[in-house]
Structure 1
């Protein structure tokens, strides 16, 4: 459906983003500035107690400083409600009192057709429910009772029964005025290749309706009552309503449960989801008879940032976990993680809950393991690493796996975890050779007993952005200058938005600078910067400059900070890759990042003109707190 130009802009202007988000969060009125349209709350996308989620009515955007979720009002509706784009537009249009534009005739025809198909599936669901109460369904009722399902559970999950008849469902739907072509298109019936009479797809099966995020019946899963049936479980075929690789069983109730603070638990089958939900784990979903797909994984992450995958404790469950590792690694990152629960051998969640109770399941979920643990286990369990070649092969496999992670910081932490696990596996000698401290901080002894020189451990990668590092001072200087000269903020606003300080106080100060706010956390951070001995010259230098010169100084500081951070990220990537010989591509990237940092640190090497000369002269006055010279001077007390 196409929208006329200006329609979305008018929609956003009429509905403040805080009104849309306010239905899902409780605003922190002490931190929010209502008069400015500046709002803060605990993030609705991840569990937290502090108010790190911010939305700005003037700009029409939200951003979480914790999980980095961001977007506009339409994005929020799509992520929190599971709506598609047009669905989100319709919700906002109703809120704004605006009439949705008329769709083109072809789109209206498609919409009408889908409505008719939904009528078929809903009628089939009601018919299956009625059949469960008939004499023909006695065996199905006994089976459900043995699985611990009472009539209340059957009604809650709309469980039904498809009698072993080729034509009963078709006849019942035709009596309600539904054309046979629609019944076939909805996946409720099929026509033989030889052109014979249509027959019902579900026969002699317990039926489980599959509903989309808006609660509409899009298809069915059927469990065969005949133990000799060719397929124990059968799903609806692909239809205009049903795409099994893009939907999840029980997604609507699970989304509501996750919004109330429950975990998103991903099981393998319908009965597992039902057992989990009845045991109190209402945020349970399942893929629809297939291995988890990329689209389903993205759908899970829209519901929760860290789904727990609860796989059966059999060989099939193990294989499913291995496949999911390779699927998830290129998609994982901050706010998109997975944890895994491997159940006891031969048990699924339904078995475990019925035999040991909900407490046993809760204990397993509390001990869920991160994805990196499963990656390590896959590459090491059952193998012997008694030669350099085998160890090198392990390094290569892990290097290739970690290299598929797109986020630099996540990739760095995976490398740290793998190094720690490798040290535990191969012992202190390996760690010392790789640069770790080892038990005694020594390299292995040479033959003959002579010891090599002590190894000096490198500082952890995370320390590069911690207190008293170059990045820390550059960031602090930039924020202090912006606080002293608010007229410069608009000039470098885009670059400031990319700072993303790790320190909560500095993050609050940055937000105040960008939004014009005045939060207590921001004020405290500013006082800390003013009192920092290493930044002591900043006020005297910067307040005496005109706008052009001050802007040049600030831009130079930001260039240096960005260059250092880019270099750090590339070094982390190189560290993960350089298990073997460095190739030409790695060498070229390191050369480029070194040149970029050099240009930022020494702009006079490429720039020219009076402005750059003035900037260099002024920047030299700040050099004391951004160069190595400062480390040789004790800070003032």
Structure 2
């Protein structure tokens, strides 16, 4: 079967030799440089222990310095799979998502035509470059000078000018005996609807040649000089040479620069790429008049693992970034992602580098954010989440986006990152030295708190403040002993103000981890707050004797403890609030209603203290307010009575 050479070129462009070879070898990570596509491994064609097999991913060739095997992706599959040339091509075509061409006896004719079209494009580039230096190109030269492009830059980028007029290029090429169908086939002219000769595609425009990765001119882009022109920028139509969804402006030079360690930057247009490259950012590319496509993303990832999308600092630039996110999520792989650098408002990379220089651009690139942060920004910016329904809507939208990620490991990490960001939004820092939220979703390790003997002095103290702290400690200890109870009482625990900073830190860690990973809660507390956090809590006597703490995992006991302790805590806080308000009002207001309010608050506190709840038949209340199982208490008293009896006998 005869294959068109263009098909094989396309196949090699789409595939990564590193991925093809990587299925058969184990890379030597110390010797390899994945960012530059310079990979080493023990040779799969002969037995060896050292890494003498070299893959140059950018050039698409491998070579073994031991057995001297060499070739490309097709020859590698052919040798390792023991298949024919056509079978190897079919295997790789399926991997690349390409359809094998049908038998075509005119394949060579098609390739010859592509070669002829490329030659016509080169003649057009030369014509445009000459026109820039004529009188007709004076306005274009002035414009380019104002944009900061000197003569050497114009030469490097082969910038030209298409003069105003209907058939300037057509007449020039026909005068060079170029066939009409080739001029039309290259996209340089369009047929007349009035029966006349075809007319030039580009008129009164500054011209930018577009070259493929091999350096062939495959299309042109034109910037209108007339401000009233309907299309400010115009690209060549798609032809046998040009597929704009599979092409990048400055592809070849950017790949070379990225191989030398420069960051790959994706800008919006020709002038942005030229300005960046002239400013020292040689690994800069741009899509061609459309939003970034899936094929262009794959091309970018072949050049660099983490391209930086540098977009204009306006609404349109942000919208473009959001479209890229939706496109990229299903395509993410381990080590392959995107970062986003948003220019200052109202500026594009060209503006920034001309007005403030390369250091300003570098500063923006250094602050590029990962894709997950921009996804979060899109779903939350400018919105208010002041109701459960709105929070649920946010959760649903984010879950739908995360589900698009095919790689399970990346999907898991995105979920955790979103969870951290959600925590910051809905549970901001509540004061206190401990539990201070850090930007990366971590907590400051708590400094050692007061020793347990000092904490135990709460039992000897009096007043409502000490009682509130005691209740808080019992609630926290109960949730740590039985984390499954948190989901039922999450809202009430979240409302706890926690007068003790240690308690506040514990409360926030519990809320963050108890529901999703109850079995790891104590480990999280020790990692975040240190082991002394649990030691100090459990050293409190009123915590140590709590039944739910002594019986971890007893969900019923934990539910009863939290229900009662939270009710008591609410009553105590209500009484304290009424007293505080009364103190402010009593000097100015002599009102029976005020006295009634205080009395009602006191009665509520007394009812809570008496534990008039459904479980009073099971539990007694100790002097310190802790609940004691009545059966256990009676059994304990019987044991103590037996001990005392034995002592008396002796």
Q: Same fold (TM over 0.5)?
A: yes
* In structure 2, distance between residues paired with 1:219 and 1:210: 5
Q: Deviations over 1:176-227 (max 9, x none)?
A: 2210111001001010234431001011000000000000000000001111
Question: How far 1:90 sits from its partner (Å)?
Answer: 9.8
> What SS is found at the alignment partner of 1:336?
coil
* In structure 1, distance between residues paired with 2:401 and 2:322: 12
Residue 272 of structure 2 is matched in structure 1 by 272
* In structure 1, distance between residues paired with 2:108 and 2:443: 69
Q: Say if 1:41 and 1:54, in contact at 8 Å, map to a contact too.
A: no
1:360 aligns with 2:360: yes
- In 2 relative to 1, CA 197–395 (structure 1 residues): closer, same or farther, beyond 3 Å? same
Residue 44 of structure 2 is matched in structure 1 by 58
1:306 aligns with 2:306: yes
Q: Say if 2:61 and 2:73, in contact at 8 Å, map to a contact too.
A: no
Question: What is the aligned length?
Answer: 410
* In structure 2, distance between residues paired with 1:418 and 1:158: 46
Aligned runs of 1:528-547 on 2, under 5 Å? Answer: none
Aligned runs of 1:316-355 on 2, under 5 Å? Answer: 316-355=316-355
Question: How far 1:77 sits from its partner (Å)?
Answer: 4.3
Which of structures 1 and 2 has the bigger CA Rg?
2
1:198 aligns with 2:195: no
Question: How far 1:151 sits from its partner (Å)?
Answer: 0.6
Question: How far 1:333 sits from its partner (Å)?
Answer: 2.3
Q: Deviations over 1:535-583 (max 9, x none)?
A: xxxxxxxxxxxxxxxxxxxxxxxxxxxxxxxxxxxxxxxxxxxxxxxxx
Residue 34 of structure 2, aligned match among 45, 70, 89 = 45
Question: How far 1:416 sits from its partner (Å)?
Answer: 1.0
Residue 427 of structure 2 is matched in structure 1 by 427
Q: Say if 1:60 and 1:72, in contact at 8 Å, map to a contact too.
A: no
1:370 aligns with 2:370: yes
Residue 234 of structure 2 is matched in structure 1 by 234
Residue 630 of structure 2 is matched in structure 1 by none
The answer to which of 206-215 and 420-429 deviates more is 420-429
Residue 183 of structure 2 is matched in structure 1 by 183
Question: How far 1:56 sits from its partner (Å)?
Answer: 2.8
Q: Say if 1:429 and 1:444, in contact at 8 Å, map to a contact too.
A: no
* In structure 2, distance between residues paired with 1:217 and 1:136: 24
Aligned runs of 1:101-140 on 2, under 5 Å? Answer: 105-140=105-140
* In structure 2, distance between residues paired with 1:319 and 1:42: 41
Q: Deviations over 1:307-331 (max 9, x none)?
A: 0000001111011011111111111
Q: Deviations over 1:399-430 (max 9, x none)?
A: 00011111111111111111111111000699
* In structure 2, distance between residues paired with 1:147 and 1:166: 27
* In structure 2, distance between residues paired with 1:176 and 1:91: 45
Q: Say if 2:55 and 2:61, in contact at 8 Å, map to a contact too.
A: no
Residue 96 of structure 1 is matched in structure 2 by none
Residue 517 of structure 1 is matched in structure 2 by none
Q: Say if 1:372 and 1:414, in contact at 8 Å, map to a contact too.
A: yes
- In 2 relative to 1, CA 458–134 (structure 1 residues): closer, same or farther, beyond 3 Å? same
- In 2 relative to 1, CA 261–226 (structure 1 residues): closer, same or farther, beyond 3 Å? same
Question: How far 1:336 sits from its partner (Å)?
Answer: 1.5
Residue 21 of structure 2 is matched in structure 1 by none
Q: Say if 1:44 and 1:259, in contact at 8 Å, map to a contact too.
A: no
* In structure 2, distance between residues paired with 1:429 and 1:38: 46
Q: Say if 2:36 and 2:259, in contact at 8 Å, map to a contact too.
A: no
1:243 aligns with 2:243: yes
After superposition, the CA RMSD in angstroms is 4.2
* In structure 2, distance between residues paired with 1:234 and 1:90: 41
* In structure 2, distance between residues paired with 1:355 and 1:300: 28
Aligned runs of 1:408-447 on 2, under 5 Å? Answer: 408-427=408-427, 445=492
* In structure 2, distance between residues paired with 1:124 and 1:226: 21
* In structure 1, distance between residues paired with 2:410 and 2:75: 37
Q: Say if 2:325 and 2:371, in contact at 8 Å, map to a contact too.
A: yes
Structure 1 unaligned blocks of 5 or more: 9-19, 22-35, 66-70, 81-85, 94-99, 465-637
Question: How far 1:444 sits from its partner (Å)?
Answer: 5.2
Structure 2 unaligned blocks of 5 or more: 9-16, 19-24, 63-70, 79-84, 87-102, 436-441, 447-472, 480-489, 521-650
Q: Say if 2:209 and 2:221, in contact at 8 Å, map to a contact too.
A: yes
